[in-house]
Structure 1
Amino acid sequence: MDTKRVLLLLCGMDLLLVVMHLGGYFFLFLKPTGYIIPLAVNFLVLTVLAYRSTRFRKRWTIAGMTVILPLLLVHSFMVLLWDYSYTKIDSPWNKQSVVIEYRHFSLGETTYQYNFYKTRFGLVGKLLDDQSIKMVIQGTEHPGLDAEGILGMESAEWITENTIRFPAWQGMKEVHLGDSELGIIGESESIRSEEEIITEIEAFMEKTKKRENGYTIHINGNQLVIRYDEAADESWIEVTSEGDKGPIPQQQCSRIVPDEERGYYMLEECTHRWEYPLFPLSSE
C-alpha cells in the first residue's frame, strides 16, 4: 500500500471520529481511554511514513507528528485526571442498553458526575447530553456509599422501554432515552413529552376530585383508573400494569399529590404502603 492510500485511510478515520464527536456519537470501546488510541495510531503511522517518504513528504509527516505528540500527551493526562468508570445496564424489553460514565471528585465536598449513552449493540453510543446527573454531597452528609451506591445502580429499574429509574441517595432520578437517533431502535408507540404527561396527571387529579368513574391514564408502565362506588359514596385509584411489571405493584391508592420537597407527584394512602413516587414535577 503506497503512502497516499495510507494517508487517505488515516484522514478518513480521523474525519469519522470528528463527525461522530460533533454529533454526540462515540465508539464505546474507546471511551475508557478517550482518543489516546486514535492519536497513537496517527503518530505511529506518520512516524513510519516519515522514514519511508521523500524529503518533501517527510517534512509534512514530521510536521504532523509535532502537532499530534503534544495532543497525545495532553489528552492522556486529561484522561488520567478524569478517571471515569463505566457500567452498562441492559433493558429487559430488547437489546437496547444504557452505558453510564461516572466519576467523583472532592474539594471539601464530594461531587458525583454521571453521563449516559444509549446503545443497542454496545459498539456505538449516543450521548444523552440533556440527561446527565450531578450530585454534590457535603462531607458531613456523606452516607459512606461509593459512586455506584450514590446513584443506586444495582437497584436501577426499567419502568418503560425508554425510561430507567435510579433510587439515588438524593431522591429518585430518571433517565429518558427517548426516540432513537441511532436509527436502530424501533419503537412501537410514540414518546410523550414530560409536559404532556404532567398535563395528564393534573387532569387526572381534577377528575379524581370529581369522582369521574373509569377515567384512565397510563404513566411509566402503570395504568391508573378512577373508581367510584356510588352506593358507598367512596372513590379510589386503581393501579395496575400489564403482567404486573409496572414500577408500582397492583393495588389501590386514595389520591395523587404534588410533593415539592421530593420533586415528585406521589400516590398516597396505598394498599401496600403509604406512598409511591409516580412522576417528577419537572426535569430541572
Structure 2
Amino acid sequence: MVLTGCTNAPPESNYSQKKKLEQFIQEFNEGKEGKVEVSVNVESTLPDPSDKHRGVIIYDLTSKYDEKAKEGWIEVVPILTRFKQSQDNPISVMESREQCGSINRDEERGYYMLTECFHRWGYDLIPL
C-alpha cells in the first residue's frame, strides 16, 4: 500500500499540507482551538487490479480545549466518499468519527500519528 499526503498534487502541495498540519499541532499543544483538513492518497500495491483499495481519505481535524479542565482533544471526521476499500484485502482505516488525545510525529514509524483515541490507541495519518 502506498500512502501519500495529497492527491494528484505537486510536491509543494504535500509540503504545504504538512506545514499546515505542523501549525495545527503546535497550536493544539498551546491549548488553542483550530481546524485542518488532511488528505491521504491510498493506492494498493496488490497485483490484482480488481482487488485493490484506492482513492482518497480526507480527515477533518478539529482541536478543542476545555479551559476549566485544562485539557484538549482532537475531533476527527473521516470522509471516505472518494475511497474504495478492497473486499478481499481490506486495510485498517478510521471509518467513523473519533476523538483522539494527541497528534504527533512518530519518527520510528515515519508517520504523523493520531494517538490516545477512543476506539483504538492510534492511527497513522500521513507520512512524515
Into which bin does the TM-score normalised by the smaller protein fall?
A: 0.5 to 0.7
- Aligned equivalent of 1:231: 68
**CA displacement at 1:232 relative to structure 2:** 2.1
| Structure 2: stretches of 5+ with no match in the other structure | 40-57, 84-92
Are the structure 2 counterparts of residues 279 and 207 from structure 1 closer, same or farther at C-alpha, using a change threshold of 3 Å? same
Q: Distance in 1 between matches of 2:81 and 2:68?
A: 30
Moved runs in structure 1, 4+ residues, more than 3 A?
241-247
Cα 1:227–1:177 shift into 2, 3 Å: closer
Show the counterpart of 2:31.
211
Q: CA deviation at 1:216?
A: 0.2
- Partner Cα separation in structure 2 for residue 273 and residue 245 of structure 1: 23
Aligned-residue offset at 1:241: 3.2
Structure with more strand by fraction: 2
Distance 1:243 1:195, change over 3 A: closer
- Distance in structure 1 (CA, Å) of the matches to 2:121 and 2:106: 14
Corresponding residue of 1:271: 118
Q: Aligned partners of 1:264, 1:197: CA distance in 2, in Å?
A: 14
In structure 2, C-alpha distance between the alignment counterparts of 1:212 and 1:192, rounded to whole Å = 27
Gaps of 5+ in 1: 1-165, 167-172, 180-190
The two structures, once aligned, show a CA RMSD in angstroms of 2.7
Greater gyration radius: 1
Report the TM-score when normalising by structure 2. 0.66
Quote the offset at 1:206 in angstroms. 0.5
Distance 2:99 2:12 in 1: 25
Distance 2:71 2:81 in 1: 25
TM-score, structure 1 as length reference: 0.31
